Amino acid sequence: MKSQVVSPASKVYVRQEAAPVLPPPGSLIGPLAWVRDNLFSSPGNILLTVVAAALAYISIPGFLNFLFFDAVWSGADREACIAKNGILPGACWAFVRDRFSFFIYGFYPVDERWRVDLFFVLGTIGVAWMLWLKAPRRDIGMIYFLIVLPVVSYYLLGGASWLGLPAVDTARWGGLMVTLVVAGVGIVASLPLGILLALGRRSRLPVVKFFSVLFIEFVRGVPLITVLFMANTMLPLFLPDNITVDKLLRALVGIGLFASAYMAEVVRAGLQALPKGQYEGAMAMGLGYWQMMRLIILPQALKVTIPNIVNTYIGLFKDTSLLLIVGIFDFLKAIETARIDPQWAAPTTSPTGYAFAAIVYFMFCYGMASYARAMERRLSVADKR
Amino acid sequence: MKKVLMSVAVGAAFVMAAGSASAQTLNQVKSRGVLQCGSNTGLAGFGQPDAQGNWTGLDVDYCRAVAAAIFNDATKVKFVPLSAKDRFTALQSGEVDVLVRNTTWTMSRDTQLGLEFGPVNYYDGQGFMVRKKLKIASAMELSGASVCTQQGTTTELNLADFFRANKLKYEVVAFASSDETIKAYDAGRCDVFTTDASGLYAERLKLTAPDDHIVLPEIISKEPLGAAWRHGDNQWGDIVKWTHYAMVTAEELGVTKANVDEMLKSTNPDVKRLLGTEGKFGEAIGLTNDWAYRIIKHVGNYGESFDKNVGAGSRLKIARGVNALWSKGGLQYAPPIR
């Protein structure tokens, strides 16, 4: 009898490889399951989903039709955007195209507008240098952004006879340029001033503390409109005849001080959120007051307040539109003025102008918010162990 | 303490205002090299930036004319856009030299604000717009009509007065903003739309079918819009006044932007006095004798300015109506230059 060589495998059931992983049942994956989990998981959610879908169905097609499909993209005047055969076209983008340069530059002389363009380029470089974390020599970027850029912009936009740049009165500034100048100055000035005021408010020196509290509470207790009115209508009455403070400068100072009072409270919240041990630790290391603040306290305090700081910035950016009530032609005012021009007056002109304003404001504000979110994620790495 | 501070501040304000009034505005303007003109922040046909950012309009032309008379250059004007709230303070404080900003000349403004009002460059007043298909020719036929108007304005009060005085029935449909009002009228919420006549023509362009609507002839309120300057500087007042009168006189005499150079050779004594080839009328108000020539050369006569900005040559197509020359049944009348 021949002995049989039997491989163990044939005799005993030994699994040599892992069983193939079966896909989860169809009811748990795929778009259908996602929809069920996220949109129809409970009666409440079902209701919300249905209502939201109905709203979207009602509003979105009309919105898209107005903004894109029925819109008028080119034309020379209102004839392009008026009703034809009794049917009203959608958004009058031809109007925005025609007045685009007015929205950006306002009354800035046409021959000098390259200076504004250069200002935009320099500003973009500065912002990118500051915000892009891997950029080389960010210390120089800081000096560029906080010192070089403001000085250069001042002469570039206002004019400098020694450089051969004709003076352009600020009454001729306007449009998006003014919005960015005012918001930029407010943003750049309010953080350092706000930090100083916040430190002042928590100072042990009674006089410093008193004036910080006085300033913050006074400014916070007054609406921005009032501040602008004060700066615009009251101030000239008190100044002698031959001294006129520039209208835009008055508004800039008003907005800068206003924003720093709010910023002070935001920073103070951050300072108070830090445990006392941080202060004591720093003092135990033998650090002086300013060293302690610069090296230990502020980096942590500012980190926790990033969402609030950006919130204040976004609010400030949008508050610049209040300038229109004191007769400064910011971006929104430029649109407001252009939309009533008889050359373009048509039923859809105003909605188009406002839609354009909304898009531009959204781009800037969403940009700020997104950057802040990314920043927060990066800085919170330390908190996640 | 607070009271003391307050009274010091208010006192200072008055001293400043008084101080600025007696100062020689013309010298200030000349040494500054530019006229500061308080203008509208945007009103169709009267003060409105074009696509390149240049101010245009009837009020703007008035300012340019003053600058032309002084500097022989209509571009030497700095337009200071003022809201309705801060226009008078800006003038009182010396921030602007003259205010030409569709400002209604009323007794209280003329007498209580330390201001002087000048010639009326546009006689405005409240009017009505209706649909053509209603076949209404006069406001007297509006009994029982529903009227769209803006809330809380004098328009609403004038409306009530007019209908009550004429014993007509009506119903007001009021809205917060002018945009809403015209939209509601367009949608058929009411039969009649009312606001100042100049505004009616501007708002009409926003309708779906502007040609289906007409403006009724009745004007139910007086809104004389003119220039204003600080009280007490009479020489400056003369310049502002006569700038307008020169434009009106030029229209009356048929002197236009195009033919003003030829007109210098005219033998008509009125034309000669206007253009300064005879007499020394310009020097008498502190300018050169060709002051009116400069105005007409750079800006044109009143009729040309009206036509270009608000009249038949513009999109507003406002009829001359009461703003026609006195010789054509209107109210524009200039005292003789002699």
A157: CATH: 1.10.3720.10
Tell me the average pLDDT across A206-219: 94
Mutation target to probe the A interface, by most A beta carbons within 10 A, among B78, B83, B318 is: B83
Q: State phi, psi for B228 to the nearest 5 degrees.
A: -135, 145
Pairwise CA distance, residues A172 & A116, whole Å: 12
Q: Beta partners for B56?
A: B48
| Whether the predicted pLDDT of A229 surpasses 60 | yes
A173 touches chain B (CB under 8 A): no
Q: Which of A98, A99, A327 sits opposite B81 (nearest CB)?
A: A327
Please report the pLDDT score of residue A6 as a whole number. 56
Task: At A249, list the tokens.
Answer: 């400068």
Task: pLDDT band for A11, please (50, 70, 90 cuts).
Answer: low
According to DSSP, the β-strands at B145-150 and B170-175 are parallel
The residue among A229 and A272 whose pLDDT is bigger is A272
- Side chain identity, residue A66: F
Pairwise CA distance, residues B64 & B336, whole Å: 23
Please report the pLDDT score of residue B211 as a whole number. 87
B117-148 per-residue burial string, b: 16 or more CB within 10 A, e: under 16: bbbbbbbbbbbbbbbeeeebeebeebeebebb
Q: Do A350 and B9 touch (CB under 8 A)?
A: no
Please report the pLDDT score of residue A8 as a whole number. 55
Do A273 and A131 fall into the same domain?
A: yes
| Whether the predicted pLDDT of B11 surpasses 60 | no
Alpha helices in chain A (DSSP H): 8-11, 30-38, 43-64, 93-105, 113-131, 138-143, 149-158, 175-201, 206-220, 224-229, 235-238, 247-273, 276-284, 289-292, 298-304, 306-319, 331-339, 349-379
Q: State phi, psi for A327 to the nearest 5 degrees.
A: 80, 20
Please report the pLDDT score of residue B4 as a whole number. 43
Q: CA-CA-CA-CA torsion for A73, A76, A80, A81, nearest 10 degrees?
A: 70
Question: Considering only residues 42 to 71 of chain B, which have any Cβ-Cβ distance to chain A shorter than 8 Å?
Answer: 42-45, 48-55
Please report the pLDDT score of residue A9 as a whole number. 53
For chain A, how many structural domains are there in total? 2
Please report the pLDDT score of residue B119 as a whole number. 93
Q: CA-CA-CA-CA torsion for B174, B176, B182, B188, nearest 10 degrees?
A: -40
Tens-place pLDDT, residues A54-82: 999 999 998 899 899 989 898 888 888 88
Pairwise CA distance, residues A266 & A307, whole Å: 10
Distance from CA of A130 to the nearest CA of B (A): 34
Pairwise CA distance, residues B91 & B82, whole Å: 10
Report the residue of chain B nearest A238, measured CA to CA. B13
Report the residue of chain A nearest B309, measured CA to CA. A342
Residue-number span of the structural domain to which A247 is assigned: 94-383
Do A171 and A249 fall into the same domain?
A: yes
* Residue B114: closest CA among B281, B233, B210, B202: B233
Mutation target to probe the A interface, by most A beta carbons within 10 A, among B6, B16, B40, B93 is: B93
Do A43 and A127 fall into the same domain?
A: no
Q: Which of A42-56, A100-114, A156-170, B44-58 has the lowest mean pLDDT?
A: A156-170
Tell me the average pLDDT across B187-193: 92
Distance from CA of A252 to the nearest CA of B (A): 17
CA B328 from centre of chain? 20
Q: Do A342 and B93 touch (CB under 8 A)?
A: no
What is the ipTM metric for this complex? Answer: 0.81
Do A49 and A144 fall into the same domain?
A: no
Q: Do A78 and B315 touch (CB under 8 A)?
A: yes
Residues 6+ apart with CB under 8 A from A14: A8
Do A286 and A155 fall into the same domain?
A: yes
Has residue A11 been placed in a domain?
Answer: no
Q: State phi, psi for A295 to the nearest 5 degrees.
A: -95, -30
Please report the pLDDT score of residue A385 as a whole number. 58
Tell me the average pLDDT across A298-320: 91
Instruction: Please identify which residue in the block is written with the tokens 């053509």.
Output: B132
What value does the CA radius of gyration of chain B take, rounded to a whole number of Å?
A: 22
B17 touches chain A (CB under 8 A): yes
Q: Which of B17, B202, B207 sits opposite A347 (nearest CB)?
A: B207
| Whether the predicted pLDDT of B58 surpasses 50 | yes
Task: pLDDT band for A375, please (50, 70, 90 cuts).
Answer: confident
Tell me the average pLDDT across A364-384: 85
Please report the pLDDT score of residue B19 as a whole number. 43
Q: Which of A135-149, A211-225, B102-116, B128-142 has the lowest mean pLDDT?
A: A135-149
Domain boundary among A50, A81, A112: A81
Do A323 and A270 fall into the same domain?
A: yes
A265 touches chain B (CB under 8 A): no
Task: pLDDT band for A3, please (50, 70, 90 cuts).
Answer: low
Mean pLDDT of chain A, nearest integer: 88
Has residue A3 been placed in a domain?
Answer: no
Contacts of B48 in chain A (CB under 8 A): 337, 340-342
Do A61 and A191 fall into the same domain?
A: no
B10 touches chain A (CB under 8 A): no
Name the E strands within chain B.
35-39, 48-49, 55-56, 77-81, 98-104, 115-124, 126-131, 145-150, 170-175, 192-196, 213-215, 223-230
What is the layout of strands, in order, in the sheet containing B223-230?
A: B77-81, B35-39, B98-104, B223-230, B115-124
Has residue A8 been placed in a domain?
Answer: no
Residues of chain B with CATH 3.40.190.10: 2-124+224-328, 126-215
| Whether the predicted pLDDT of A166 surpasses 80 | yes
Please report the pLDDT score of residue A52 as a whole number. 94
The residue among B218 and A242 whose pLDDT is bigger is B218
Pairwise CA distance, residues A372 & A191, whole Å: 15
Q: Do B209 and A83 touch (CB under 8 A)?
A: yes
pLDDT above 70 coverage of chain B, percent: 93
Pairwise CA distance, residues A59 & B159, whole Å: 38
Do A162 and A307 fall into the same domain?
A: yes
Tell me the average pLDDT across B101-112: 90
Do A129 and A211 fall into the same domain?
A: yes
Please report the pLDDT score of residue B8 as a whole number. 43
The residue among A263 and A171 whose pLDDT is bigger is A263
Q: Do A237 and B17 touch (CB under 8 A)?
A: yes
For the domain covering B2-124+224-328, report its CATH number.
3.40.190.10
Has residue A9 been placed in a domain?
Answer: no
Task: pLDDT band for A168, please (50, 70, 90 cuts).
Answer: confident
Q: Which of A217-226, A280-289, B4-13, B223-232 has the lowest mean pLDDT?
A: B4-13
Has residue A10 been placed in a domain?
Answer: no
| Whether the predicted pLDDT of A242 surpasses 80 | no
The residue among B35 and A328 whose pLDDT is bigger is B35
Q: Beta partners for B149?
A: B174
Distance from CA of A279 to the nearest CA of B (A): 42
Do A167 and A223 fall into the same domain?
A: yes
pLDDT above 90 coverage of chain B, percent: 64
Do A70 and A102 fall into the same domain?
A: no
Whether the CA torsion B8, B12, B15, B17 is positive or negative: it is: negative
Has residue A21 been placed in a domain?
Answer: no
Q: Are A125 and A192 in contact (CB under 8 A)?
A: no
| Whether the predicted pLDDT of B326 surpasses 50 | yes
Distance from CA of A320 to the nearest CA of B (A): 17
pLDDT above 70 coverage of chain A, percent: 96
pLDDT above 90 coverage of chain A, percent: 46
Please report the pLDDT score of residue A272 as a whole number. 92
Which pTM value belongs to this model?
A: 0.84
Tell me the average pLDDT across B190-200: 91
Superfamily holding B126-215: Periplasmic binding protein-like II (3.40.190.10)
Do A59 and A177 fall into the same domain?
A: no
Q: Are B90 and B80 in contact (CB under 8 A)?
A: yes
Please report the pLDDT score of residue B193 as a whole number. 94
B314 touches chain A (CB under 8 A): yes
Q: Do B82 and A327 touch (CB under 8 A)?
A: yes
Tens-place pLDDT, residues B285-303: 999 999 999 999 999 999 9
Q: State phi, psi for B176 to the nearest 5 degrees.
A: -75, -40
Has residue A330 been placed in a domain?
Answer: yes
Question: Considering only residues 276 to 335 of chain A, which have any Cβ-Cβ distance to chain B shorter than 8 Å?
Answer: 324-329, 333
